Amino acid sequence: MVTPAARREAVIWIRDRFGASWRRACGLTSCAVSVARHRSRRDGQKELRERLRELAGKKPRYGYRRLTWLLRREGEPVNPKRVYRLYQLEGLAVRKKKRTRLARAEPPRLRPVLAPNDRWSMDFMEDSAARGRRIRTLNVLDEYSRECLAIEVDTALSGERVCRVLGQHRSTQRKAPRGADDEAALTEDIIALARQYGRYGYRRVTALLRDSGWHVNRKRVERIWRREGLKVPQRQPKRGRLWLNDRSCIRLRPEYPGHVWSYDFVEGRTHDGRKYRILSIIDEASRECMALRWRVSSRATTCSRRWPNCSSRAVRPRISGPTMARNLSRRRCRNGWRRSA
């Protein structure tokens, strides 16, 4: 008895059944005398309740909020709280929809056993000890002879423990991975796109696959990408004598002697440990060594002085080498070099 109305009914029942006084009956039900003697002057709203029942019968899927809208359309000045109270008093409620059960395929039937050790069954059982500690048991049963082959009892039984009881290795009981039906076709398309677009990673390949009609996500493409050993090659170093300025993979080839010269420094040490550097200048077309000069330290000015001494066969070649010396040598070529007669 929680609501005042329920306590009021209990007080009236005690007075009618046992003839107790108001104070005695109210003391037994923990109800105030004023509450027990109170009589509501509110209108019962019989017509509104009848109309609410009629609408609920016509619209069984409508709750009290939608019924409030219908009553307002008919001209009844009601609010949702009032309709909800009458809705509860009439015992109305929207019936819950039954869950649609999906048609399940019939599980395959097991073949009958024909001899002992033909098929074993196992299951876990759970119980509690006298002190309330939970224990589990593993029961292994022969389905033909109904013999109990093993009973393993412990507070916890892991998969490794079960495999040890059955005498099988743990790897034989793991779930075999089952790929999708279109795994092979998707792998072929990924490899083809990786060959066509060598600088594209798996994210861009995923976008190309989606544009072509594949419904795949980035994680699946990344998994196949790593499994097939695909990888975006590293960018080639910027070397003036090997590559063009457009960052393409076309190697720069000399067309005639004196077209491309290359130079580099070779470093070594003497017998007493002193370090020296050798300046080597080579014609890329004829592979002729134009100059070979060693110094303890070679600067850009030293390199630029050496260029006119070996410039009798070509004028203004395309020079390749370290940046500072290359720029200074090019200025020397523009200012003072001439074609020999």
Q: How many CA atoms lie within 13 A of 6 on its CB side?
A: 4
Below-50 pLDDT ranges, the chain: 240-244, 246-250, 312-316, 323-325, 328, 332-341
0.85 surpassed by pTM: no
The CA-CA-CA angle for residues 262, 263, 269, to 5°, reads: 155
> Residue 45 and residue 89: Cα distance in Å, rounded?
12
How many helices (H) does the chain have, and how many strands (E)? 12, 7
Residue with tokens 């040598």: 329
What is the predicted pLDDT for the residue at 227? 87
pLDDT, tens digit (0-9, with 9 covering 90-100), for 50-103:
999 999 999 998 999 999 999 999 998 999 999 999 999 899 998 887 777 777
> Residue 121 and residue 198: Cα distance in Å, rounded?
55
Query: 182-215 burial, b for 16+ CB within 10 Å, e for fewer?
Result: eeeebeebbeebbeeeeeeebeebbebbeeeebe
pLDDT, tens digit (0-9, with 9 covering 90-100), for 119-160:
889 999 999 988 889 999 999 999 999 999 999 999 999 888
Residue 99 one-letter amino acid: R
Closest among 37, 49, 31, 40 to 85, alpha carbons compared: 49
Residue with tokens 């809208």: 69
What is the predicted pLDDT for the residue at 314? 44
Strand 134-142, strand 120-128: pairing: antiparallel
Going from the C-alpha of 340 to that of each of 184, 281, 308, 310, 314, the distances in angstroms are 67, 20, 12, 12, 8
Q: Map 31-97 to HEC letters.
A: CCHHHHHCCCCCCCCHHHHHHHHHHHHHCCCCCHHHHHHHHHHCCCCCCHHHHHHHHHHCCCCCCCC
Side-by-side strand order, sheet with 134-142: 120-128, 134-142, 148-154
What is the predicted pLDDT for the residue at 165? 87
What are the start-end ranges of the E strands in 210-297? 260-269, 275-283, 289-295
> Residue 281 and residue 298: Cα distance in Å, rounded?
14
What is the predicted pLDDT for the residue at 331? 52
What is the predicted pLDDT for the residue at 288? 87
Decide if 158 contacts 197 (C-beta within 8 A): no
